[in-house]
Structure 1
Amino acid sequence: MQGIIPPLVTFFDENGSVDKETNFRLIDILIEKEVDGLLLLGSSGEFTSMTHQQKSDYIVHVIPYINKRVKCMVNVGSNVVEEAVDLAIKAEKAGADAVLIVNPFYWPLSEAQLIDYFSEIIQSIKIDAYLYNVPMLSSQEIPVNIIPELLERHDNLKGIKETVSDIGRYRKLIENVRPKNTEFVILTGFDDHLLPGMMIGTNGSINSTAVVFPEISVKLKKAMEQQHFEAVNRFQNLIAEAMQLYDINNSFFSTIKEAVSYRWFNGERVYHKKPFHLINANTRSEVERIVDNINRKWKED
């Protein structure tokens, strides 16, 4: 999978159950805006706050709804490897195109343990698999040097999502993995890394502001490919402005969900899993300010 792949937020009802209809509405909007794919149960989707049963139910309802209209990737990573395998198998049966696998958190693993963990999940399915490197939230960085070994073992390992501050990490992957694996996909996680990443050889982005403003990331990628650099500069600046949303709450996904509701659903009330329901009092006013400013600049073009 390549291109712009928004990581879906997950809408819940007041009882903490998954609100299927609202999630379906968001999916329809993002597909209409010509995204290349969708990520389910990522960091923006509050997967760490959902029970295994909730994640399983979400998978079996949402993937058939997407119905191959765009590519679909599901994060299945878990501290319990058996649960990760179960989710991967369910995602494949439901029709997903790929799984994303984040390494376990809390206890750092040795390289041998990481290889064993990823292999256990990847070998349980035939669909494509992608690693998820997010060291700020997991216990450690996925070492670059274990990736060639995993690629030798598993033909269905296709790439990695990199949520890292150091752009030099992309260079290390390109230099150490791509020579023997020329089709290895690198997807950036930070919104403002989409442009510099593409300039050195990455393949797209899984970024959270693309759930709120999918048009910006989609048009930035197209402008870059067509070498329309004036447009590139404009879209990159809009993405940088949208990243103010991350500064409002520690649980950035709460803010992103509020922004999605404000922009797409007329500010309908949204519910967050505990304890993330306790958000800053100024969240809605700040969300409205940021979204309105970007909408205004978007319309001025």
Structure 2
Amino acid sequence: MRISGLWPALLTPLTEDGSIDHPALTTLAKDLVLRGIDGLVPLGSTGEFTEFNAQERRAILETVVIAADRRVPILAGVSGLSTAETCDHGRIAAEAGVDAVLALPPVYWKVSDDRIFDHFVSVADATDLPVVVYDFPGLTAQPLTTALLERLAVEEPRVIGAKLTVRDVMTVTAALGATRPYRPDFSIVTGFEDLIPAAMWAGADGAISGMANVIPDELVMLVASVKEGRPDWAELHHAVMADFDMYGISAPAIPGLKAAAAALGRIPRANWRLDAGPEKSVLDAAAAWAAVRQPSSERKDVA
């Protein structure tokens, strides 16, 4: 299995009372598959993984697996505070029928590379599934070092790649240099859409994208254009970057992403677990964002 192309980091739609909106999740997942994405990533950061208990996580994953209907692979987020919790979530994901798991290092305590290596090995042991390691130092404050990535590539074949939600291409190129000489099949994907062209030119395989919930067509075309070396990548990247300010609708970004998706009719409402009834200011900002946004069909060289 290789993580390549465009994989949306799925939003988790909620009802008015904050329960999981399984029909809306099913609709979102099916629509994304039909739009040509390469895989689905439920229960990542965009999916609010921190806010759901074990039973809810299982239900979310089962819904996505059924919606995908084996048309695309499922990479399930299984991160938790501890190794034991992460392994428990990994077992649930395996039982739900996903194809691979995505895991952060242990959260809260700052530990050594040896300890993080053992953490990812434990996740692989618990799930019997391929593991993608997740580097998000902006939230964990503990980056995955190039030495650790090299050791994982050399010593642990069940770790098949890394998602790098990092702000610079140098980190991506360093990760590629640490892994590809030993494992040409080791997947490296970016978590930030603005880095897609530069990361892929350096050798990365694609992106796991929160924005793909909102503007999937533009991102599918951008990743394909860069992968194929087509000259229209710049226009496509410009179109994506014109919408990049959706990340600034709120802080943190999830309610803003949900509000943008709701404003465009991608999900029914913008509720999220930390604020079941979204703030009016976020809804207003998302409505203003959507009002001035040109549909992709009206953008030059995009449709």
TM-score, normalised via structure 1 length: 0.92
Question: What is the aligned counterpart of 2:10 among 4, 8, 11?
Answer: 8
How far residue 167 of structure 1 moved from its aligned partner, in angstroms, is 1.0
Contact 1:258 1:287 in 2 (8 A): yes
Contact 1:122 1:154 in 2 (8 A): no
Aligned partner letter, 2:223: K
Question: Percent identity of the aligned residues?
Answer: 24
**For structure 1, which runs of at least 5 residues remain unmatched after alignment?**
none
Matched, 1:143 2:145: yes
SS in 2 for 1:83: helix
How far residue 277 of structure 1 moved from its aligned partner, in angstroms, is 4.4
**Separation in 2 of the partners of 1:190 and 1:277?**
27
Structure 2 equivalent of residue 238 of structure 1: 239
How far residue 140 of structure 1 moved from its aligned partner, in angstroms, is 0.5
Matched, 1:262 2:263: yes
How far residue 292 of structure 1 moved from its aligned partner, in angstroms, is 4.0
Matched, 1:288 2:287: yes
Contact 2:135 2:144 in 1 (8 A): yes
Aligned partner letter, 1:22: A
Aligned partner letter, 1:47: F
Aligned partner letter, 1:289: A
1:30-179 aligned at under 5 Å gives the runs 30-179=32-181
Contact 1:64 1:95 in 2 (8 A): no
Structure 1 equivalent of residue 271 of structure 2: 271
**Separation in 2 of the partners of 1:42 and 1:133?**
12
Aligned partner letter, 1:286: A
Contact 2:30 2:67 in 1 (8 A): no
Q: Provide Cα deviations, 1:115-151, integer angstroms capped at 9, x if missing partner.
A: 1211111122232110000001113001111123223
Aligned partner letter, 1:284: L
Aligned partner letter, 1:247: G
How far residue 203 of structure 1 moved from its aligned partner, in angstroms, is 0.2
Structure-2 change in CA distance of 1:246 and 1:270 (3 Å): closer
Contact 1:88 1:124 in 2 (8 A): yes
Aligned partner letter, 1:272: W
When the two structures are aligned, how many residues end up with a matched partner? 298
Structure-2 change in CA distance of 1:187 and 1:288 (3 Å): same
**Separation in 1 of the partners of 2:158 and 2:168?**
27
How far residue 65 of structure 1 moved from its aligned partner, in angstroms, is 2.8
Contact 2:4 2:206 in 1 (8 A): yes
Contact 1:255 1:287 in 2 (8 A): yes
Structure-2 change in CA distance of 1:204 and 1:142 (3 Å): same
Structure 2 equivalent of residue 212 of structure 1: 214
Please identify, of 232-241 and 19-28, the stretch whose mean Cα deviation from structure 2 is larger.
232-241
Structure 2 equivalent of residue 252 of structure 1: 253
**Separation in 2 of the partners of 1:288 and 1:235?**
24
How far residue 103 of structure 1 moved from its aligned partner, in angstroms, is 1.4
How far residue 274 of structure 1 moved from its aligned partner, in angstroms, is 2.5
Aligned partner letter, 2:283: R
**For structure 2, which runs of at least 5 residues remain unmatched after alignment?**
none
Q: Provide Cα deviations, 1:12-57, integer angstroms capped at 9, x if missing partner.
A: 1223221100110111111111001110001111111222322122
1:18-29 aligned at under 5 Å gives the runs 18-29=20-31
**Separation in 1 of the partners of 2:230 and 2:294?**
22
Contact 2:212 2:219 in 1 (8 A): yes
Structure-2 change in CA distance of 1:126 and 1:271 (3 Å): same
Contact 1:254 1:276 in 2 (8 A): no
How far residue 269 of structure 1 moved from its aligned partner, in angstroms, is 3.2
SS in 2 for 1:5: strand
TM-score, normalised via structure 2 length: 0.92
How far residue 278 of structure 1 moved from its aligned partner, in angstroms, is 5.1
How far residue 177 of structure 1 moved from its aligned partner, in angstroms, is 1.4
**Separation in 2 of the partners of 1:18 and 1:79?**
22
